[in-house]
Structure 1
Amino acid sequence: MRLTIQPTDLHKAVAAGVLAPGQDAALLSFLQQQNPERASFQLAHIAYYFGAMLIIGAMGWLLTEAWMNIGEGALLIISAAYMLLFTLCGRSMWQRGQQIPGGLLGAVAVSMTPLLIFAVQRLMGWWPLDDGLGSYNDYYKYVQSGWLAMELGTVMVGVLMLRMLPFPFIVMPIAIALWFMSMDLTELLFGSSFDWEQRRWISLWFGLLVLLCSLWVDGRSQRDYAFWGYLAGLLAFWGGLSMMDSGSELGKALYCLINLGLIAVAVLLRRAMFMVFGALGVASYLGYLSYEVFADSLLFPVIVSLLGLAVIGLGIVYQRQRDAFSAKLRRKIPSSWQSFLPALRR
């Protein structure tokens, strides 16, 4: 059973004479430093993240064409002011101990980088695109090699922001910029012959690379930077995999096996997000079987229902013996690979 200590508990300990006056604040500060990412799931935290995503969306893919008409100079001043404001506010909150809202504001500042670079390029006459894709909104819609400066700048600013505010969510805009960059570099290499099938493969391989990098980072730092890397990697890998066209039953079965592998990775690393994506993939395959292969079968829904009950039962058993499950699965991995696995998180 995991024990959660609240500030009020420490105050009561002082009142009871268990702690000396002043020791409660020192102990609370120490515990927060030891476990900065294990804050309880509070409504305020949801509001923080939701507000940050609203700002990122508003100044990103929801930016209207009217903003493009105010002029490059005004766009540059506004984007630079936003970045500076979010950075200063985020750093101020971080220094006052409000790490979640402070780190999120740092991530918002990083997400403003493409707009700032866009304005600079247009103002200085360095804009490389002349094919009608001159709107900032197109950055989130089309693959173009002309976006590379915006993506490279976002990665650089994100790395600098991580040094200033070591908050894991800042990894997300960096990973998205790298994903866009992988697409745009391929367009630069292959030209206009770059089709959707190639994009799916690139998304898949890029997602796999991000997952491997996140695995290497996992457990090597006190903060959980790997969480957002895993999420970005799964979105790219699983998204590319799920959008691929497979005309054979073998290909569809392989898709199901890969998703079952993601479920195994969830047990191995004790990361629930792998379970979520893997379960979605398996459910998609079962849906295909239901509507295409076993459309006339009366027993198929019954079998799937029994399978669902079995999965629930396994979930109950796993919850009780998850340490033994993870340890047993890890023992099956070659010893030369086990050194790459992170320590299990509680």
Structure 2
Amino acid sequence: MRLTIQTGDLNKAVAAGVLAPGQDAALLSFLQQKNPEQASFQLAHVAYYFGAMLIIGAMGWLLTEAWMSLGEGALLLISAAYMLVFTLCGRSMWQCGQQIPGGLLGAVAVSMTPLLIFAVQRLMGWWPQDDGLGSYNDYYKYVQSGWLAMEAGTLIVGLLMLRLLPFPFIVMPMAIALWFMSMDLTELLYGSSFDWEQRRWTSLWFGLLVLLASLWVDGRSQRDYAFWGYLAGLLAFWGGLTSMDSNSELGKALYCLINLGLMAVAVLLRRSLFMVFGALGVATYLGYLSYEVFADSLLFPIILSLLGLAVIALGLVYQKRRDAFSEQLRSKIPASWQRFLPALRR
């Protein structure tokens, strides 16, 4: 059972003589430094994250065409200044014990990397001349292999920033870069004549690799760096899988089975992300059955309703015995494979 400790509890401990005056502040500081992302989520934290997302959006997909008219040199100076200021401010706040806003500023700095590399490529004449993309906003709209340098650079800068500010949210812009990379690799692998089928398979296999890499990272540190990797991997894997065309009932049933597998992985790793994507996939398959296969059936909605009630009941049982379920599922996995699984998160 997770125990939440608040400032008022520590004050009462001091008043009762359990803690000496001054030890309450030291203990609270220690707990926050040990795992700041699990600290009490206050309104100030919402403001921190919302402010960070506003900056990322303003200097990312919401960047106006007026900025493009400033020229590559101005974009380079502005993006470099933003990265430097946010990094220095984030590091300063981190050292002062304000790890959440400090880490978020580090994530903002990493999110500036694509704009900086875009400006460098354009300024140095390294930008592919035959891609027809001249605006930074196109980075968020179109699939092109020319973006790969921006995505790879974001990953490198993100890794360096994690060494400086070990805050899990910094993985978020890296995860977005990985998701984009899963699509942009298609043109590099197949050429400009790639079709949607090739893009789907590239996205699926790339997402699977990201999921495996995130599994390797999971549980190897006190901080949850794997979450955003799982999100990027699921977006690429599940997106590629769901967008595939299957003309056979067997293929569609296999799709449902894979999504059920994702739900089993959610129990195995105790990661709700897998449950969300798996449930969406199963719902998609059931929607297909409803509109295509059993369109004229009176019993199908009733059966689905009963199935929904059964799922809710299973959810209640799982909530009470999730530790036992996870351990039982793990016990059925070969011992040689179990060492690759992260420890269960309490």
Q: TM-score range by the shorter chain?
A: over 0.9
> Do the aligned residues in 2 keep the contact of 1:113 with 1:153 (CA within 8 Å)?
yes
State the one-letter code of the partner of 2:268. Answer: L
> Do the aligned residues in 2 keep the contact of 1:90 with 1:101 (CA within 8 Å)?
yes
1:227-306 correspondence to structure 2 within 5 Å: 227-306=227-306
Deviation string, structure 1 residues 195-233 (Cα, Å, up to 9, x no partner): 121111111111111111111111111111011111111
> Do the aligned residues in 2 keep the contact of 1:113 with 1:157 (CA within 8 Å)?
yes
1:153-192 correspondence to structure 2 within 5 Å: 153-192=153-192
Query: What's 1:142 paired with?
Result: 142
Residue aligned with 2:161, SS: helix
The alpha-carbon distance between structure 1 residues 299 and 341, as it changes in their structure 2 partners (threshold 3 A), is: same
State the one-letter code of the partner of 1:74. Answer: A
Query: What's 1:120 paired with?
Result: 120
1:75-114 correspondence to structure 2 within 5 Å: 75-114=75-114
State the one-letter code of the partner of 1:220. Answer: R
> Do the aligned residues in 2 keep the contact of 1:200 with 1:243 (CA within 8 Å)?
yes
Shift of 1:175: 2.7
Find out whether 1:333 has 2:320 as its counterpart: no
The alpha-carbon distance between structure 1 residues 233 and 185, as it changes in their structure 2 partners (threshold 3 A), is: closer
Alpha-carbon distance in 1 for matches of 2:177, 2:293: 40
> Do the aligned residues in 2 keep the contact of 1:103 with 1:166 (CA within 8 Å)?
yes
With 100-109 and 257-266 compared, the bigger mean Cα shift is at: 100-109
Alpha-carbon distance in 2 for matches of 1:120, 1:307: 56
Deviation string, structure 1 residues 58-90 (Cα, Å, up to 9, x no partner): 211222222111112221121112112221222
1:34-73 correspondence to structure 2 within 5 Å: 34-73=34-73
Query: What's 1:319 paired with?
Result: 319
Q: Which runs of 4+ in 1 moved over 4 A?
A: none
State the one-letter code of the partner of 1:251. Answer: G
Of all paired residues, the percent bearing the same amino acid is: 89
The alpha-carbon distance between structure 1 residues 204 and 44, as it changes in their structure 2 partners (threshold 3 A), is: farther
With 262-271 and 6-15 compared, the bigger mean Cα shift is at: 6-15
Alpha-carbon distance in 2 for matches of 1:50, 1:248: 45
Residue aligned with 2:155, SS: helix
Query: What's 1:343 paired with?
Result: 343
Given the two structures, how large is their TM-score scaled by the length of structure 2? 0.95
Unmatched 5+ stretches in structure 1: none
Shift of 1:56: 1.6
State the one-letter code of the partner of 2:113. Answer: T
> Do the aligned residues in 2 keep the contact of 1:7 with 1:28 (CA within 8 Å)?
yes
Shift of 1:182: 4.1
Given the two structures, how large is their TM-score scaled by the length of structure 1? 0.95
Query: What's 1:5 paired with?
Result: 5
Deviation string, structure 1 residues 140-193 (Cα, Å, up to 9, x no partner): 222222222222221111111111111112112223323333443442232112
State the one-letter code of the partner of 1:233. Answer: G
Shift of 1:320: 0.9
Q: How many residues were matched structurally?
A: 346
Alpha-carbon distance in 1 for matches of 2:88, 2:194: 42
Shift of 1:124: 2.4
Deviation string, structure 1 residues 81-117 (Cα, Å, up to 9, x no partner): 2112221222122122222221111111111111111
State the one-letter code of the partner of 1:21. Answer: P
Alpha-carbon distance in 2 for matches of 1:35, 1:90: 17
With 53-62 and 287-296 compared, the bigger mean Cα shift is at: 53-62
Query: What's 2:20 paired with?
Result: 20
